[in-house]
Structure 1
Amino acid sequence: MITRWVSGAALAVAATVPTAVSAHTATLEWWPCSGEKIAMECADLAVPLDWARPGGRTITLRIGRLPATGVAEGSVLVAYGGPGGPGIATTRAHPEIWANLRARMDVVTWDTRGYGEQFGGRSDGLPCVWTRVPYPKVPADDADFGRLADTNRGYAQACRHGDPEFFAHLSSADQARDMEAIRRALGGGGLNFYGASYAGLYGQAYARLFPGRVRTMVLDGTANHSDADWLREVGESARDNQAAMRRFFDWCGGTDMCPLDDAAHDWRKLVAKAEREPVAARRVEASYDAQDLRSLALGLARQGEAQWPVLGQAIQDALKGDASDLAPRRGARYPDLSTPVTECLDWPRFRDRAELAATLTRLRRIAPDTESAFTLATGTLACVGWPVPATNPPKPLPGGLPPLLGAGAWVESDATARVVRQAPGSVTIRHEGPGHTLYPFNPCARAHIDSYLTDRTMPPPDTVC
């Protein structure tokens, strides 16, 4: 799935909260957010739970605003991904990154629907125990595929039983319709949007639903949810991952900081060993099969030169019988993910094991050293057997969009570029190094993004920051 960008900051509740303003009204009633030292304002907005039934049940979104420090020329709507990253808490924790943009624009964010107090949000949340589950194993046969479906259905029902209607309306398209309600409540005008990580899918959904209302849109470190053939994009992401592993192999061959004589050969030898019998990780009392090793090693390879010496030593030690240094640095001993409610509404899942097997065979040809690791071929295995269908599957962007701006580091910039190039005149800012999203950490990218959001000034094609 997509890496979560979530601040650990606590979010205080206003002592007196006005009644939520309806999505059908034109203004928001702002009040000072409780405990604020940065003059952040809050408001509530009531929106339909099911946008296909605008007169039905409503939920409340909590909106936050950092007012412009100069004369406000408009607003930028910001989302941090996750899915479920609390917009207000994250903005409160990192107001400094918006300082230049705030000279001319209000910075507006919101706590996304469904992800409530457990995620630090104050919008209405789905009553759910957000369980972290082991990354699904590739089924060995049809019986395994059926057991996987039953297991996933059990995890899903634990989240679904408290509010089945809410459970079915947590897709990125639902978030995009909420964005449109926020845009109207702010007074209309074209939408300026910055979406980081998974929130880039909200932006892509908005562009499909409301192409004529986009003024500017930044997609930073996001996945491509806009390909007509989602399995083709799975292949492209596998190709990107193979390139990440190749960077590590090349580095290893040109430095004395790597203990491996032939990194590619040693890596393939280790994977072949794990395919015969899992390799022990004694320090953490675990053992890793080939699928585990690919995910764990790729995670280190994508972090760049800071982690490449660790990866080289870990491969050497694993060949000697102990894969402990490949274990995750925090949390579970094995690759895992949280209950993927939004993801399973956004991405298709395999119909049967035959379709899965054909895809995995293709990925082995494309990416012999990483195969399906960190791709939706294995990520969506958690959605097999899900009790609700994918209501917001990938689709191409429509015509008529203004130029979009993408941004990303290794791997992410390639995926983001495949999205924005569908809108003529678009540009992707690349960072030739590791990382996840650019705006918070890369001043060069931030300056280009601010110029685009304010003046619609695009950076030159092939800009590298």
Structure 2
Amino acid sequence: MANPSRLRAVALTTSAVLLAALLAGCSEGAKDGDLTAQKLDWQDCPVPSEAEGGGTSPSPLPNGAKWQCATMKAPLDWSKPKGDTIDIALIRAKATGDPSRRIGSLIFNFGGPGGSGVATLPAFGADYTTLNTRYDLVSFDPRGVGRSAPVKCESDSQLDAYFQQDATPDDSAERTQLLDRTKQFNSACEKHSKKILPQVRTTDAARDMDLMRQVLGDDKLHYFGISYGTELGGVYAHLFPKNVGRAVFDAVVDPTQDPEQSALGQAKGFQLALDNFAEDCTSKKEECPIGDTPQDVKDRIAKLLADLEKKPIPGIFPRQLTQTAATNGIAQSLYSKDFWEYLTEGLQQAYEGDGKILMLLSDSMNGRSENGEYSNITAANIAINCSDEKPRYTADYVQQKLPEFRAASPVFGDYLAWGMVSCTDWAVPGAADHPDVSAPGSAPILVVGNTGDPATPYAGAKRMVDALGKGVAVELTYKGQGHGAYDSKNKCVQSAVNDYLLDGKVPKAGTVCS
């Protein structure tokens, strides 16, 4: 089972076993324990670690900018700033324009929590070449992620079993099995990562970013946060309002919700995206191969999932496509309208007894590579969420809430409701019901909400604006589909964001792009 709270993540390509190896570019030791004085030794980037997803060293950007990597020392425990340290992996592409017009570093976080910025920034880097004219593009593996003191839980074979389990139990025996398997996973995290688990809260990552700002030589933190990255950015603004430079929040997490409210909001968001997918398929001139009407499309999907509950079909040998894996794969395909064609093809195949495409989509969500190795995105995601989120939900409580979740989404309701038990028996207590992002005195923050976003529903953008405080945030609405707005390549959105980040021009509040 993918941890359903991870459905607010950006779709990432990651894979495999965790390695605590150092990056090639190590930082020089800071004098007298002053970590702000450390000098980063930027070198050519190595091949991504398995924890980051594996693959090859990043290729230069279309503008010729090359990627460089380094490590930054940060306190293991921010309450003991002169104590033990950990390495935070960084990546950058230096600004390509006139050096006299360089603004500074633009730091990206692409979400998760648990996504490797070192792996993701090069993958999406071509989208940011305009910003690269005046900024060094910078990202990082947050603590607990990738090469930055990664959380370790289970082995690849154990994770295969974990993701094959029934995540939507129908009786007491299946509920017991789900809870036992969750406890087994959480115990493995404590066994293998006991030292780092208490130190991966979002507040810790925000403090790392302020250290990063200083080490990079910037007076202000210029920031681009996507998905969970908006929550991290909001927490940073709360802790360091006077240090905020030009900041953009895209695909906005609702900071006012507890985990239950967030899961219910996602159920509604993914159902809306599925409705839009079904409407799109059946509204075209050519025949929709998976249904005659939007309701027919959804009815056939529901029947497929019910059939898979009774009898899985062949997926990627030797694994079979289970109901849980299919639900996970469908959810993954709703992150971007660009994926809708793969969902259509995957459903066509599944109706004929072939589950390969839906399983590939599910594997992508879970961070599983073709060679069967997993990144640590699931381990890091659960660790960060459970450290941040105070509530601990019981099976009895979830059972009571199922009617409400099913009303929100016949397809995703059970899946997201049962995901609330992920933090049961977690070794570290959660910090709060929801993050504090109030940031009086901060520079303007551009908050971009997408009306069709499944993972971070549109209503969260307005709530982020209100929570940041009066006079801080400016809201921009994108009437589109998928998770996020800037990477949709909508010219109106990109122009507004670029004008703000490059020239400081704040768009008029309430601007709408379509």
Taking structure 1 as reference, are residues 114 and 420 closer, same or farther at Cα in structure 2, changes over 3 Å only?
Answer: same
Structure 1 equivalent of residue 265 of structure 2: 236
Moved over 6 A (4+): 333-337
Deviates more, 1:166-175 or 1:425-434: 425-434
| Amino acid across the alignment from 1:463 | V
Q: CA deviation at 1:379?
A: 3.5
* Cα distance change of structure 1 residues 26 and 55 upon mapping to structure 2, 3 Å threshold: closer
Matches of residues 101-112 of structure 1 in structure 2 within 5 Å? 101-112=131-142
Give yes or no for the alignment of 1:359 onto 2:401: yes
Q: Tell me, yes or no, if the aligned pair for 1:23 and 1:185 is still in contact at 8 Å.
A: no
Q: Is the 8 A contact 1:278 1:288 kept in 2?
A: yes
In structure 1, the residue corresponding to 2:480 is in which secondary structure? coil
In structure 2, what is the Cα distance between the partners aligned to 1:192 and 1:13?
Answer: 24
Query: Counterpart amino acid of 1:404?
Result: I
Q: CA deviation at 1:358?
A: 2.8
* Paired amino acid for 2:419: G
Q: Is 1:31 matched up with 2:41? A: yes
Match of 2:28 in 1: 18
- Taking the aligned partners of 2:112 and 2:365, their CA distance within structure 1 comes to 20
SS in 1 for 2:199: coil
Question: Aligned with 1:109: secondary structure?
Answer: strand
How many residue pairs are counted as aligned between the two chains? Answer: 452
1:307 to 313, 317, 340: 340
**Is the Cα contact below 8 Å between 2:445 and 2:474 reproduced in 1?**
yes
- Structure 1 residues 137-146 or 55-64, which shifts more? 137-146
Return the offset for 1:245. Answer: 2.0
Query: Among the aligned pairs, what percent are the same residue?
Result: 21
Change (3 A) 1:232 1:14: closer
Q: Greater share of helix residues, 1 or 2?
A: 2
Higher RCO structure, 1 or 2 (CA under 8 Å, sep 6+): 2
Residues 313 and 111 of structure 1, relative CA distance in 2, 3 Å threshold: closer
Question: Is 1:264 aligned to residue 295 of structure 2?
Answer: yes
Aligned pairs for 1:223-372 within 5 A: 223-224=253-254, 226-255=255-284, 256-259=286-289, 260-265=291-296, 267-268=298-299, 271=302, 275=306, 278=309, 280=311, 282-284=313-315, 286=320, 288-289=322-323, 294-300=327-333, 303-304=336-337, 307=340, 311=344, 314=347, 318=351, 322=353, 324=355, 327-329=358-360, 332=363, 338-339=378-379, 340-348=382-390, 350-372=392-414
Counterpart secondary structure, 1:328 = helix
Larger mean Cα displacement after TM superposition, 60-69 or 277-286: 277-286
- Structure 1 position 5 matched with structure 2 position 3: no
Deviation at 1:359, TM superposition (A): 2.5
Report whether the alignment pairs 1:155 with 2:185: yes
Q: Distance in 2 between matches of 1:397 and 1:334?
A: 28
Q: Does 1:171 align with 2:201?
A: yes
For the residue of structure 2 that corresponds to 1:338, the secondary structure is helix
Give the 3 Å change call, closer, same or farther, for CA 23–66 of structure 1 in structure 2.
farther
Q: Aligned partners of 2:175 and 2:168: how far apart in 1?
A: 8
d(CA) in 1 for partners of 2:41, 2:166: 45
Shift of 1:21: 6.6
Return the alpha-carbon distance in structure 1 between the equivalents of residues 32 and 270 of structure 2. Answer: 45
Structure 1 pair 383–426 and aligned structure 2 pair: CA distance change class (3 A): same
Q: Where do 1:121-160 residues align within 5 Å?
A: 121=147, 123-126=148-151, 129=154, 131=156, 132=159, 133-134=162-163, 137-140=167-170, 144-160=174-190
Aligned to 2:75: 48
**CA shift digits 1:140-192 (9 cap, x unpaired):** 45665454333223223333324412122122222111112222334463322
| Farther-moved stretch of structure 1 (305-314 vs 199-208) | 305-314
SS in 2 for 1:189: coil
Question: Per-residue deviation at 1:103?
Answer: 3.1
Instruction: Name the amino acid aligned to 1:221.
Output: A
Structure 1 residue 264: Cα displacement: 1.4
